[in-house]
Structure 1
């Protein structure tokens, strides 16, 4: 996948959630970056990201999210279907989540690129094959985490780039707002990092 080029340009801010975009060489679809301070520890956020059953409650337009294979407590493969409004076809993808910790800085990185194979392509659903998503989680203080999320995706199929780019800020605002609510759940209160 082509690497983004140029400067990040501010798009929107809502409830402390800032969304930026930038052009990507050889792509009509812009890369996105989201920055905010999230109430919760790094471990709580990792626990939520690894909790696939919760994804439909907070990730914008997620119709389903299922475990394909768990490699270790810090690495898994999952399948997700994304709902799009008619007349567009839904999208799906398989992603590999890998969580890593820099012991010196205590910064946790969660990589979630789309990977080929693992699940057969389904009729009437467009498979996303080009997608990279990276979460960078930096402890801000005892109760808060600086979150930076970068996404570069090619939705595949027939979908106008202007439409994707015009709607792209809406999804992160919705997802991050929902994420803040999900982090209040008791099951994440005493979360520990998976390594």
Structure 2
């Protein structure tokens, strides 16, 4: 995985996939020159085969780009929730995750978890503590939501790991029908420590996309399974019509 990450950085975001947007190279050159537009979402990848759109945005006051995703999951919301809220198994599908575990459960809709990420070669690995809150699906509302916010001081740092300053996301899960869900994500990640901004941005353009590919694969594996009886979190307040 580290070799893959290094290749992504050296290639300045060019993955070699036929679905990669041809503007990636120009976008990277603009980034290096500091001339890319601020506060505008730029499409960085459109995978029509997998129904994934990935965007990035440079914002005033932030050294690293924000990201946005819009994609489809061909499975029921309950299957998606089973995968996304099964923190201990993030190592099976979440891009460059070495370790993940729940630290504290406040309620079925609020918890804290720990996550450790592999960093590019020559850079120390990162870790983060995330405060997660779930807004379960109701028919009236029509969607479920998951809000993730990094809380760096929740537990002491673990050198040589570098504690991430932000791994913040808002995810909206909107069932299209009983067998398909639209997912919209907006997020911002600051890895903390010392790392070239251009390299972090290049990786951040790729990581969300590859995470979605892993999520889609994992959801298909559990598509026909319901939530286990001891599943501690609530994604549904009411069944999807």
Tell me if TM exceeds 0.5.
yes
What are the within-5 Å matches in structure 2 for residues 99-178 of structure 1? 99-101=134-136, 103=138, 104-178=140-214
What does residue 119 of structure 2 align with?
A: 84
> How many angstroms does 1:97 deviate by?
1.2
> How many angstroms does 1:32 deviate by?
0.3
- Alignment TM-score, normalising by the size of structure 1: 0.90
- Alignment TM-score, normalising by the size of structure 2: 0.74
Q: CA RMSD in A?
A: 1.8
Aligned residues: 191
What does residue 133 of structure 2 align with?
A: 98
> Gaps spanning 5+ residues in structure 2: where?
1-37, 228-233
Which deviates more from structure 2 when the two are superposed, residues 182-191 or residues 59-68?
182-191
What does residue 28 of structure 1 align with?
A: 63
SS in 2 for 1:28: coil
8 Å contact from structure 1 (residues 126, 156) kept in 2: yes
> How many angstroms does 1:86 deviate by?
1.6
> Gaps spanning 5+ residues in structure 1: where?
none
SS in 2 for 1:95: strand
> How many angstroms does 1:123 deviate by?
1.2
**Bigger strand share:** 1
